[in-house]
């Protein structure tokens, strides 16, 4: 049986319509469907399959065949990492864990019938549904910008071709040109992400285009690890980076992709690259499933990441509104394990322990100058609540910063193995 | 005897002497020891035993040196020379080993003791064959009651979810050390060492700080079963 599935997954030409096969085979076993094969979804699928030893039938729905991690994509922009090293495939999840990996889009959820509709037209039944679709952008968040202009003004906030495009644009900047970034309002994926990106772009420009400038329009008063980033920018990239917060119109921006203009508080500036990171919300399928709130996120209980709107649905990662955890790959992976335990407990009666969560976000400012912030969390009735944390300090010696960077490389290897097997 | 010291340090959360201390300054203080102790290559027995490879040594175990019964007993009760235990000993030897035959009043100043310990550390090889190879000199000696806690392996497997995003379950080390297949006592000692901030890494201090004794024991039980990296 598994063999057939393996052949099916392995063959690139295989059509998703073959999907009905695993359903027939799986009759009798409880069914879990996971939407989204990213940091949250792939981890959940793997842990449910692994720890239930075949007692649960797991289907993972993910449109792309290679998942490019957002984490470390900034390092690619800075030249510290090859693009190919960010790519991960689903072969092991299928072959070694017996997960039915279906490369298709989920386009709807029928919560009464407990089925997920796929773009190919088929539908998949579930006993428990796990949704981890990441983010989508809020329509109209930045006047002048929408997905049709993303190739002129890339977001590169979902990794893949967008990331490559942004890098190519940075490399094509004229000497002394301007790289602009529109940073998003809270809450958004990876709070230090935009500022690590600025650091990496600056690193590239310092070596290749030292008279270039970086302009950040930011609607937020303050941002993650701000003191550490600003200290690093002064030490490494003095005079190159300018950030306009809300007091300088950073919250009143629009763009004109045709003329490559960024308008801040009514004043237009011509820029060479414009990296637009719009306001965010849960991936659209969460909204279609009817599990999101007015703010666009899916409220969940920290006890099992169960949706507050439907007890048979779990929402993980960036899409969830859970409390204090930042939207990160580390968090999504951590939440996935609590979710997996809860799903197994519900479907097979296995033991459920009190949830524990953790997060650490590393950022690279310049060569061997790494910083980190992290915390532990537990579930309370109200939310996932922080129980304490730590953050790098200004003035740390070079060896500490280098060790921090090296730690992050170890983490990337570790978490990739933990997500994809 | 030692059973008392380590828990006190742990409970108080006292930071042990840190690496910023100066072996150079310590060499000056060493003059006070030189009459009775030798150190360095070819060090010989004098009134007291040679002090090479002191960190990690169980008290009273230098071969062919005749110790007092008090020192031998202390070693048998678990006294291991670490920066923390040395700090207490050197402040006033008789406070730690009441009937030791080392007649030395002690070093009153904290800075003198810290520097001297840094000096002694220079002559301690990293390969601490006496203690488990995973232990560092900063690690405390845990009381037997704590080491004896039976860990719930299944709970450990669940808790390990937090660890394996960084420490690979396969034992592979790609920048974060391998922690599979360790003896559970060593594992617990190291986790306590982070929790009490004897070891410095903030990530691990945070991780260990969120775990109670039973949880650490559970993790030790789970990781012990996994195949060790070579
Ligand atoms: C520049 C940048 C840097 C970052 N750096 C870090 C870092 O250093 N550390 C860190 O921990 N995090 C980092 N992050 C954040 C991290 O990438 C996300 O928080 C993490 O990927 C969230 O996981 P997720 O499962 O919620 O979503 P994702 O990983 O985005 O996965 C969602 C998956 O769902 C699929 N999907 C979406 N809709 C559907 C549908 N309808 N049907 C089927 N599949 C669907 C998508 O194709 C995607 O593969 C960074 C992010 C960015 C943008």
pTM above 0.90, yes or no: no
CA distances from B201 to A403, B21, B85, B190 (A): 10, 18, 21, 12
For the Cβ of A191 lying below 6 angstroms from any atom of ligand 1, the answer is no
Are residues A272 and A178 in contact, defined by beta-carbon separation less than 8 angstroms?
Answer: yes
Q: Is the pLDDT of residue B3 over 70?
A: no
CB contact under 8 A, B173 and A341: no
Measured between CA atoms, how close is B203 to chain A, in angstroms?
7
At the topology level of CATH, where does B144-225 sit? Cytochrome Bc1 Complex; Chain D, domain 2 (1.10.760)
* Residue B198 in tokens: 């004897």
Q: Mind telling me how many Å the CA of A187 is from chain B's nearest CA?
A: 24
Would you tell me how many other CB atoms lie within 10 Å of the CB of residue A7? 10
Question: What DSSP string describes chain B?
Answer: -HHHHHHHHHHHT-----TTS-HHHHHHHHHHHHTT---STT----SS---TT-TTPBTT--TT----HHHHHHHHTT-B--HHHHHHHHH-HHHHSTT-S--------HHHHHHHHHHHHHTS-S--SSS-TT--TTPPPPPHHHHTPPP-HHHHHHHHHHHTTTS-TT---SSS---TT--HHHHHHHHHHHHTTSS--HHHHHHHHT--HHHHHHHHHHHHHSPPP-
Q: Is the pLDDT score of B16 beyond 60?
A: no
A329-348 vs A398-420: helix crossing angle, rounded to 10: 30
ipTM for the complex shown: 0.85
Examine the pLDDT at B12 and tell me if it is beyond 50: no
Q: What is the mean pLDDT of residues A348-352?
A: 95
Return d(Cα A275, Cα A225) in angstroms, integer: 21
Q: A412 CB less than 6 Å from ligand 1?
A: no
Q: How confident is the model at residue B20 (pLDDT cuts 50, 70, 90)?
A: low
Of A372, A387, A413, the CB nearest to B174: A413
**Residue B229: predicted pLDDT:** 78
Residue A20, pLDDT score = 39
pLDDT band of residue A17 (cuts 50, 70, 90) is: very low
Lowest mean pLDDT among A76-90, A105-119, A324-338, B216-230: B216-230
One fold for B2-134 and B144-225:
yes
pLDDT of B130 over the 70 cut: no
- Name which of B32, B41, B44 is nearest B93 in CA terms: B32
Average predicted confidence (pLDDT) for chain B: 86
- Among candidate residues A377, A400, A375, A385, the one with its CA nearest the CA of residue A224: A375
The residue among B18, B151, B175 with the most chain A CBs within 10 A of its CB, best to mutate, is: B175
For chain B, the structural domain boundaries read 2-134, 144-225
Are B7 and B143 in contact by the 8 Å Cβ rule? The answer is yes
**Yes or no, beta carbons of B167 and A407 under 8 Å apart:** no
Residue B139 confidence (pLDDT): 86
Tell me the β-bridge partners of A89: A66
pLDDT tens figures, A159-189: 999 999 999 999 999 999 999 999 999 999 9
Q: pLDDT by residue (tens digit) across B150-176? A: 999 999 999 999 999 999 999 999 989
- Tell me the average pLDDT across A354-368: 97
Q: Per the structure block, which two tokens stand in for B100? A: 């030791």
Please answer yes or no on whether B164 and A390 come within 8 Å at the CB atom.
no
- β-pairing, A320-321 vs A100-102, is unpaired
| Residue A117 pLDDT > 50 | yes
Helix, coil or strand: residue A146: coil
- Dump pLDDT digits (tens) for B200-215: 999 999 999 999 999 9
Tell me whether residues A413 and B161 touch, CB distance under 8 A. Answer: no
> What pLDDT band is residue A9 in, cutting at 50, 70 and 90?
very low
Check residues B117 and B133 and name the one with the higher pLDDT.
B117
Would you place residue B14 in the very low, low, confident or very high pLDDT band (cuts 50, 70, 90)? very low
Q: B95 — contact with chain A (CB < 8 Å)?
A: no
Interface of B with A in 107-166 (CB under 8 A): 154-155, 158-159, 161-162, 164-166
Both structure tokens of B215 = 């949880």
Mean pLDDT of A18-40: 73
CA-to-CA distance for A174 and B104, rounded, in angstroms? Answer: 74
Checking if the pLDDT of B9 tops 70, the result is no
Domains and CATH numbers, chain A: 5-136+280-420 (3.50.50.60), 149-276 (3.50.50.60)
Q: How far apart are CA B93 and CA B48, in angstroms?
A: 13
Mean pLDDT (chain A) is 94
- Supply the residue whose CA is at minimum distance from atom 27 of ligand 1: A134
Is residue A142 a contact partner of residue A342, using CB atoms and an 8 Å limit?
Answer: no
Q: Is the peptide bond before A187 cis (omega within 30 degrees of 0)?
A: yes
What's the pLDDT score for residue A63?
98
Neighboring chain B residues of A374 at a CB cutoff of 8 Å = 202-203, 206
Q: Is residue B131's pLDDT more than 70? A: no
> Do the beta carbons of residue B164 and residue A51 sit within 8 Å?
no
Nearest to A201 by CA among A365, A336, A351, A357: A365
Q: Please tell me the CATH superfamily of domain B2-134, with its number.
A: Cytochrome c-like domain (1.10.760.10)
Nearest neighbour of B175 by CB, restricted to A358, A360, A407: A407
pLDDT digits (tens, 9 = 90+) for A223-275: 999 999 999 999 999 999 999 999 999 999 999 999 999 999 999 999 999 99
């Amino acid at each position: 049986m598994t063999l057939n599935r393996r052949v099916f997954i392995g063959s690139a030409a295989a059509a998703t319509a073959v999907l009905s096969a695993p359903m027939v085979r799986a009759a009798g076993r409880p069914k879990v469907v996971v939407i989204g094969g990213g940091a949250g979804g792939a981890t959940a699928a793997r842990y449910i399959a692994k720890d239930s030893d075949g007692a649960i039938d797991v289907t993972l729905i993910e449109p792309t065949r290679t998942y490019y991690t957002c984490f470390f994509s900034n390092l690619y922009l800075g030249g510290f990492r090859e693009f190919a090293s960010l790519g991960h495939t689903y072969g092991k999840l299928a072959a070694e864990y017996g997960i039915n990996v279906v490369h298709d889009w989920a386009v709807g959820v029928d919560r009464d019938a407990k089925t997920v509709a796929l773009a190919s037209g088929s539908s998949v039944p579930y006993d428990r549904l796990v949704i981890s679709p990441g983010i989508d952008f809020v329509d109209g968040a930045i006047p002048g910008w929408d997905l049709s202009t993303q190739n002129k003004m890339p977001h590169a906030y979902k990794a893949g071709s967008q990331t490559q495009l942004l890098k190519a644009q940075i490399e094509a900047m004229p000497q002394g040109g301007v790289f602009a970034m529109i940073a998003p309002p809270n809450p958004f994926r990876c709070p230090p992400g935009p500022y690590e990106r600025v650091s990496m772009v600056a690193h590239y420009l310092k070596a290749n285009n030292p008279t270039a400038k970086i302009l950040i329009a930011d609607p937020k008063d303050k941002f993650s690890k701000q003191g550490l980033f600003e200290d690093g920018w002064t030490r490494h990239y003095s005079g190159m980076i300018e950030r306009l917060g809300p007091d300088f119109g950073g919250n009143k921006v629009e763009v004109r992709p045709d003329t490559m203009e960024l308008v801040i508080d009514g004043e237009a500036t011509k820029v060479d690259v414009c990296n637009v990171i719009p306001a965010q919300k849960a991936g659209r399928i969460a909204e279609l499933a009817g599990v999101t709130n007015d703010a666009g996120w899916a409220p969940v209980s920290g006890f099992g990441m169960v949706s507050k709107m439907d007890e048979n649905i779990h929402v993980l990662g960036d899409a969830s509104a859970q409390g204090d955890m930042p939207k990160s790959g580390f968090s999504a992976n951590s939440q996935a394990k609590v979710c997996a335990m809860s799903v197994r407990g519900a479907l097979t009666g296995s033991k459920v322990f009190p949830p524990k969560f953790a997060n650490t976000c590393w950022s690279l400012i310049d060569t061997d100058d790494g910083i980190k912030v992290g915390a532990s969390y537990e579930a309370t009735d109200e939310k996932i609540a922080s129980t304490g944390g730590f953050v790098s300090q200004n003035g740390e010696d070079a060896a500490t910063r280098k060790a921090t960077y090296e730690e992050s490389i170890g983490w990337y290897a570790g978490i990739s193995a933990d997500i994809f097997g | 005897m030692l059973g008392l010291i380590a828990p006190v340090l742990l409970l108080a959360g006292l930071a042990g002497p840190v690496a910023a201390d100066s072996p150079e300054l310590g060499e000056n203080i060493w003059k006070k020891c030189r009459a009775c102790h030798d150190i360095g290559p070819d060090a010989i027995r004098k009134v007291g035993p040679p002090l090479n490879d002191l960190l990690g040594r169980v008290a009273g175990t230098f071969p062919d040196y005749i110790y007092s019964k008090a020192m031998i007993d202390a070693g048998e009760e678990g006294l291991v020379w670490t920066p923390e235990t040395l700090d207490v000993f050197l402040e006033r030897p008789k406070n730690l080993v009441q009937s030791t035959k080392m007649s030395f009043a002690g070093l009153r100043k904290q800075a003198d003791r810290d520097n001297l310990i840094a000096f002694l550390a220079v002559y301690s090889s990293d390969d601490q064959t006496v203690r488990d190879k995973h232990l560092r000199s900063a690690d405390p000696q845990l009381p037997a009651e704590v080491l004896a806690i039976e860990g719930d392996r299944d709970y450990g497997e669940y808790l390990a979810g937090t660890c394996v995003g960084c420490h690979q379950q396969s034992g592979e080390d790609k920048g974060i050390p391998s922690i599979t297949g360790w003896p559970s006592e060593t594992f617990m000692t190291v986790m306590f060492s982070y929790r009490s901030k004897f070891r410095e890494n903030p990530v691990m201090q945070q991780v260990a700080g969120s775990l109670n004794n039973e949880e650490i024991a559970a993790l030790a039980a789970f990781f012990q079963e996994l195949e060790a990296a070579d």
